Amino acid sequence: MNNGNDWSSDPSVRAMRRLFARMESGQKELLQRLGISLYDGRLRVCREDARNLFERMLSGSSAGRGGQNEGDAAALYIHCLIQALEQHGLLVPAGVVRENDPLKGVVREALK
């Protein structure tokens, strides 16, 4: 499988794969805590909205306040997903996210 187009040795590709793995793991953990199946049909639009918000925040002026490393970026995505779940009427009980978590405020501010 090793040929001239092998992307596995590119550091930026490896970093993105690690980020996506963290995002996927965080999403799975969150949905499990909320009792929502990974296959719930309502998640499609929530995931799309979360991805759009996440991309906007990383590319916009909010990028300096979150997503500075893989862990921060993955946590930012989870906050975007929580926001999307709430916007689409899925209950996210208090305590799932710390009330004083700075990323929670950053995401809410980005929506204004």
Confidence (pLDDT) at 89: 94
For residue 61, CA distances in Å to 31, 51, 70, 88, 107 come to 29, 17, 18, 26, 12
- Residue by residue, pLDDT tens for the chain (112 residues) are 455 567 778 888 888 899 999 999 999 999 999 999 999 999 999 999 999 999 998 887 544 444 467 778 899 999 999 999 999 999 898 888 776 777 777 787 777 7
Residue 34 contacts residue 96 (beta carbons within 8 Å): yes
Angle between the N-to-C axes of helices 70-87 and 43-59, in degrees from 0 to 180, rounded to the nearest 10 = 130
pTM: 0.80
Among 13, 35, 32, residue whose Cα is nearest residue 24 = 32
Q: Token pair for residue 34?
A: 């909320």
